[in-house]
A and B are shown apart, each in its own frame.
Chain A
């Protein structure tokens, strides 16, 4: 009983700490400035506290990641669920699970020292720190997640529906695209939403490869800090407890928490609704 409450306790503690420290932050900074100012320089002489540049960095990298992960993840899921033989599925799924378990710090290395130099050969002007490379790597990281959740949704579609399609003379591809995918669509969308949430909260890859400069841009070829990268940057420094800089990472964390929590709740609800249908 008490053990089960530990989960509730953790949530309450997270929200409590974030709100408590953010409260201190918002005693100094007007909420309006926080949400509308376009410059984020809390550690400068003349600090400005506009969260927008961090949000834009976060969203840009998430956008790049989704452009990689959604098509590849969805196609992988369709292939695994509708095309692959039992043997292929049993071989590939554990590998995808392994990929899911690779620590993010290693992917950070990969983004900075492998993907970025590779991209610089294609786009000569690309700076060492940019959002494209971590975006791609975060995308690859969430492929297994999107693929496995989508595949679960497709496999939940009853066989009778597939038989109905095949009985009409449909090919595998037609059955997969015209019947199974639409039938599983809400489960697939839930996979996307939960995938987005993961991309937004991803930390090490972006902290290593995207740079530390808050930059209000949606251009992935530029360098920009994300919410998570900012928290890492500040935490690595030696900021006194209770200072406004210290409090600012909790305010940033609160924004991050709100974004991911909203997505997670929507995602889980969509998924639950879907699983109740079949």
Chain B
């Protein structure tokens, strides 16, 4: 099923990252993201998986003193998105992100979803209406909120808020979507909803997900990467990683002997 003909959407090449103060959080990571696939990052906390994910939308640029080395190249245009000359805003317009805790804005449901479009200068009401509806449907939230789109987003449940954040990220047709432990603040039913949603979303875009939950990685992802102390220990298709890991460390982590 996994063939070499699957195109690569983006790849990290010898990526290192230093936090302000010199903490060497990523050490020469090489890893591809295949198009229309879900890649999961697992590893004990502090292993650098979230740091790695946040390189993809240059989130680290928000805080002074952080430093990247190496490349993240996006295909098919071959842009190194870590290049100084590439504006982080441009990167974020192509790659959207869903956070660990739902972080809706203090606005209506409608305005939350429309935010990305508004930020891009889109003010055409019909266009916005269509896109918001499409995104809410895409995030499996439409049926629950279609009659109260003007309600404040804070009034939704945690799971609904997270789906709203997915709709928000979806509305701008991103090429890649990053999920940073998207279900760690949610109950099992809401978690199942989000996982199902991710499996559907991969038909439209490429997904990179950080998860602390190995079952989740096994359930949703096509490829899995195991990281430890800022290094990529093992990468492969999910079935292989979970059934026949090549490295002892990976096996220990997966079987729960450590981590």
Contacts and interface: CB of A to CB of B under 8 A. Distances in A.
Given A85-B64, A174-B119, A167 B92 contact: yes
A164 to B, nearest CB: 4
Given A163-B99, A169-B89, A179-B105, 4 more contacts: A164-B104, A167-B99, A178-B115, A179-B106
A109 interface: no
A59 to B, nearest CB: 32
Given A85-B64, A160-B99, A171-B89, A165 B106 contact: no
Interface residues of B, number: 26
Interface string B92-126: 11001101010111110000000110111000000
Contacts of B115: 165, 168, 170, 178
A167 B107 CA distance: 17
Interface in A156-205: 158, 160-171, 174, 178-179, 182-183
B2 interface: no
A168 B119 contact: yes
Contacts of A167: 57, 59, 92, 96-97, 99, 169
B96 A178 contact: no
Main secondary structure of the interface of A (DSSP, over half): helix
Nearest to B120: A169
B139 interface: no
B39 interface: no
B172 interface: yes
A166 B106 contact: no
10 contacts: A163-B103, A166-B92, A167-B99, A168-B119, A168-B168, A169-B120, A170-B89, A170-B119, A174-B119, A178-B105
Shortest Cβ-Cβ A-B pairs, 5 listed: A169-B93, A169-B92, A167-B97, A164-B103, A168-B116
B62 interface: yes
B177 to A, nearest CB: 11
A163 B92 CA distance: 11
A86 interface: yes
A272 B209 CA distance: 38
A182 B107 CA distance: 8
Contacts of A165: 105, 115, 119
Of A160, A161, A169, A174, most buried by chain B (CB within 10 Å of CB) is: A169
A168 B107 contact: no
A161 B93 contact: no
B119 A178 contact: yes
Contacts of A86: 64
A164 B106 CA distance: 12
Contacts of B106: 161, 179, 182-183
Given A85-B64, A86-B64, A169 B103 contact: no
